[in-house]
Chain A
């Protein structure tokens, strides 16, 4: 627990004034989910990924997605070795624990989906065989909401694979001044790993131990059903969405040092775990409608 506190302390020193976002990112990692950050460039997406990798002591790779990126650029390919006269599989950047897929919507759907299979199954197909990816495997994908030309927006089915979507936003004035003052001084200092890879796995396993009472399952189920019967959504939440929502709530409860999930956890995560999976038929903001539903479902 102490280590977790230390982690957040360090993280919040690096990402100034965005404690909630950093918390959600950690929740996402501990819930074995993947994170989609939708924001403009330069607000610290890469910094956050780097910081997470460094502090958790996990290997980190980054792929800049472009329209000419090929699946082999992510997964890797077999290269003929002239000396041994054999094919050698050269592992791609996907073989890492934390992968930053920058501007994922700029790659072609084919490339996107090759990454998405890895996210879902935690393994990739290499020349017909399945190769496992390291555990934990955590993808942080970013996309730029402003640049619309030449992009391939992620389809709904693929958005559903991300546990959370969040945006970092601009830091507060105070924090931004502090950031400017520091001039990035913290960038390199005090970035030693807090956890060993084994400890991270243990943390994730501990998340599974968090208790979810029947009452809470009932509440979550009511919420999920309410999204399905809402007339404003094209479709409701999938069972996978419900499962992931619960897993995230468990991770949040764990971080908050509780042994059971509370309705607050569910409510708190509603927007970030569910809104990106829902679409209003009239094109309105699904987060607002979701908020309305959460307000209507009774908690007791």
Chain B
């Protein structure tokens, strides 16, 4: 078809390449492909159910044995059975093809089956292409720098295999590596351009089955005593914050996520959407500005299904979501990958609470037992004001042998009573819950706030990393129409707030805090040589991940739009512009390809141009030079037509032929001069 079109336009296409004769692959290359498939199937264990991955591995090992035995493929019937079984396996294990894991497992199984039945060159090509695809699939599960590095290495391996397959002569691994590195290196600029300019999809991939939720810890919308303690040892990062100026002191790093005013038997809940004070919320939303407040920062949050975003207390500006009357900020739809947002905060709430629901803030489902009641009566008597009552309860915690522990004992049917008089040991949530309930019983409106406290300053990247272990719960009491933060944990264990959770974890020896607390704390704050090196190494690694997430993973529709705006491209329909550019670019490339096929006149020398001028003179007498006419032959014809000018024609032709064909004879200037002086008279009719 193309040939016919090309012929119509008189374009000389190069002759069709004849397919090279097929060659046999050496065992070394087959084993290399086998190794690649093996790696792919082993990593498949990370995402798939073990039974499926093991089956894929089994098929792969089966093929390796066949290769080692010098055989090619098993019998067709065996292939059929293996294939049917893999269909059945996916159906039984995943209940169909829906969902990412099922789909990818199915592709992995088919890849290993294809590998098993491969015998010809093209089969192995196909296996390599499938391996590329599987490598790309891993990005659905992780976009970490480590994963990318692994995928690049794997891709290089597959490319080496392709190079070695293609070459009919046995290629040593080293040569294949050189070839493949060249190919991969050439692909990098294109990858960068596509990464920067290919239209980012706004929102989530609609066509992809939804991702199963991450198995990490998340702040729940309710608080049950003992929940947080389970996350105390989960040191994976929750989010990272970069402040524009110096960050506030550790004791002021309260990251508010949720506010829980609803109590039911020692458990707390956030306000359901219908019961939120949306009027105040809207007013605060309108006033919110990123330029307000004392602290400005950018948060890069790990993937979470939570719709409440942590902000430094108290938020006055944000780039994402909507603030509620209780200073928590929520988004309408959870993000399905890492995301970033900006925030601005001041350390004090700037608004008096607007008409709080007193009934709700004083309501308790738990009733005080007799000994609690007596304690309450005593407190009521000694402290008439709300402020004094807060101090009294905190003093009670401080003075009565209450312990802070990462392994709180379980509580029974009368949780508060048991906590106050028997166990006297708890995690932040126990103290916050107990304190808030006691406050309500003492007629002080109070509520629970959950979020994170503290964070580790990464001095390499100059940002604060907040981990899930930093999850924290504290109380807020309403005094003189203003909400005041009270953290009872700080009363029991000041180190938790002043130094941070990392210190607590360092002091924890498995069942309780180390006895020599002072020295251990000093050790933590001023670590020795090896420890310090280890820590700074860890910080460097974390910083690498942070920068990676910030610049690469988090490069999304908005950042792309910003980049394009900076480049002066229309922001409104940037996607269309980009698609247009891409199409135009590829169209141009195709045109360029055909342009190269069009036979082009070779660059003419000065002598040739002058000679063409000379020939041109004869044109009006209908004497044209045929393509194959040599200068002498043309001169013969010309001289026949113009006998009077025989000498000039002869002279010019001789000069030109000498210039073109003789060895250092003839002069260009003379020739030009001759042509310039040449005047063609009327032709003499030949006899």
Contact = CB atoms under 8 A, between A and B. Distances in A.
Interface of A: 211, 213, 215-216, 218, 229, 259-264, 267, 294-300
A294 B628 contact: yes
B611 interface: yes
B637 to A, nearest CB: 14
B133 to A, nearest CB: 39
A216 B629 CA distance: 14
Interface string B610-636: 011000000000000011111111000
Nearest to B633: A264
B663 A211 contact: yes
B608 interface: yes
Interface stretch (B106-114, B513-521, B654-662): B654-662
A267 B630 contact: yes
A295 B630 contact: no
B608 A300 contact: yes
B528 interface: no
B663 to A, nearest CB: 4
Nearest to A231: B15
Given A262-B632, A262-B657, A294-B628, 7 more contacts: A211-B661, A213-B660, A213-B663, A262-B661, A263-B661, A298-B628, A300-B612
Contacts of A261: 661
A216 B661 contact: yes
Top 10 A-B residue pairs of the complex, sorted by shortest distance between their CB atoms = A211-B663, A263-B630, A260-B662, A298-B627, A215-B660, A213-B661, A295-B628, A260-B661, A299-B630, A264-B630
B627 A296 contact: yes
B170 interface: no
25 contacts: A211-B661, A211-B662, A211-B663, A213-B661, A213-B663, A215-B661, A216-B660, A218-B602, A229-B14, A259-B662, A259-B663, A260-B663, A262-B632, A262-B657, A295-B627, A296-B627, A296-B628, A297-B627, A297-B628, A298-B627, A298-B628, A299-B627, A299-B628, A300-B608, A300-B612
Contacts of B15: 229
Interface of B: 12, 14-15, 602, 604, 608, 611-612, 626-633, 657, 660-663
Contacts of B663: 211, 213, 259-260
A300 B663 CA distance: 17
Pick from B602, B630, B632, B633 the residue with the most CB of A within 10 Å: B630
Contact of B611 (A267, A294, A297, A300): A300
Contacts of B611: 300
Contacts of B628: 267, 294-299
Nearest to A299: B630
A260 B656 CA distance: 13
Pick from A296, A298, A299, A300 the residue with the most CB of B within 10 Å: A300
Contacts of A267: 628, 630
Given A262-B632, A264-B630, A297-B628, A213 B608 contact: no
A246 to B, nearest CB: 13
Contacts of A213: 660-663
Nearest to A228: B15
A261 B657 CA distance: 10
Nearest to B14: A229
A245 B418 CA distance: 111
A264 B632 CA distance: 8
B612 to A, nearest CB: 7
Contact of A262 (B12, B604, B630): B630
Contacts of B629: 299
Pick from A294, A295, A298 the residue with the most CB of B within 10 Å: A298
Nearest to B627: A298
A69 to B, nearest CB: 38
A171 to B, nearest CB: 28
A230 to B, nearest CB: 10
B613 to A, nearest CB: 12
B604 to A, nearest CB: 8
B18 to A, nearest CB: 12
Pick from A262, A267, A295 the residue with the most CB of B within 10 Å: A262
A211 B633 CA distance: 21
A232 to B, nearest CB: 13
Contacts of B602: 218
B327 to A, nearest CB: 79
Pick from B608, B626, B660, B663 the residue with the most CB of A within 10 Å: B660
B603 to A, nearest CB: 11
Nearest to A213: B661
A216 B631 CA distance: 13
A134 to B, nearest CB: 32
Nearest to B664: A211
A294 B611 CA distance: 21
A153 B12 CA distance: 35
B17 to A, nearest CB: 14
Contacts of B660: 213, 215-216, 300
B659 to A, nearest CB: 9
A299 B631 CA distance: 8
Contacts of A211: 661-663
A233 to B, nearest CB: 11
A259 B602 CA distance: 27
A216 B602 CA distance: 14
Nearest to A264: B630
Nearest to A229: B12
B14 to A, nearest CB: 8
A300 B603 CA distance: 12
A212 to B, nearest CB: 8
Contacts of A264: 630, 632-633
B515 to A, nearest CB: 92
Contacts of B14: 229
A262 B611 CA distance: 16
Contacts of B608: 300
A45 B604 CA distance: 46
Contacts of A299: 627-631
Pick from B14, B15, B633, B663 the residue with the most CB of A within 10 Å: B663
A229 B14 CA distance: 8
A263 B660 CA distance: 10
Contacts of A294: 628
Contacts of B604: 300
Nearest to A295: B628
Nearest to B629: A299
Nearest to B602: A218
A267 B602 CA distance: 21
Nearest to B612: A300
A295 B12 CA distance: 18
Contacts of A300: 604, 608, 611-612, 631, 660
Nearest to A261: B661
Nearest to B662: A260
A180 B300 CA distance: 110
A67 B662 CA distance: 50
B436 to A, nearest CB: 90
A261 to B, nearest CB: 7
A181 to B, nearest CB: 36
Contacts of A263: 630-631, 661
A296 B10 CA distance: 14
A295 B627 CA distance: 6
Contacts of A260: 661-663
Nearest to B658: A260
B626 A295 contact: yes
Contacts of B662: 211, 213, 259-260
B389 to A, nearest CB: 100
A260 B630 CA distance: 15
B180 to A, nearest CB: 33
Contacts of A229: 12, 14-15
A104 to B, nearest CB: 33
Nearest to A294: B628
Nearest to A262: B661
Contacts of A297: 627-628
Contacts of B627: 295-299
B639 to A, nearest CB: 16
B526 to A, nearest CB: 80
